[in-house]
Structure 1
Amino acid sequence: MVFTAACTILGGTNEETGAPHFLQRASFIVFAISDTIALLLSCFSILMLITILFPL
């Protein structure tokens, strides 16, 4: 759910520039950074699971 929320940008985008409306707000920046960290940790946990299930 978190990654889907990141793909649908909160508040929509500006028609002229294509940039998100909330780009200058600190809460949007915190959300983007935390979503990126969550994605990286999720990928790391999947890789750890694969290495446990299928050792070389």
Structure 2
Amino acid sequence: MNRRTIQGRYEIFLQKYNEGVKKYIPIYTVKKSIHACYSARCIEAKKAKERKKLKK
């Protein structure tokens, strides 16, 4: 690595960095959260309201 140019050293660094990121940082998806006050009853009321709109 002593004889490489700065660009070559930078590319090696990025390669090692990306390998470490892929290996040690977990990947997860963010789920949509529903507020605690938004219960099943509220969901049903919203669906009923949407059905009424579609009937019109």
Which range, TM-score by smaller chain?
0.3 to 0.5
Please give the TM-score of this superposition, normalised by the length of structure 1: 0.40
Q: Higher RCO, 1 or 2 (CA under 8 Å, sep at least 6)? A: 1
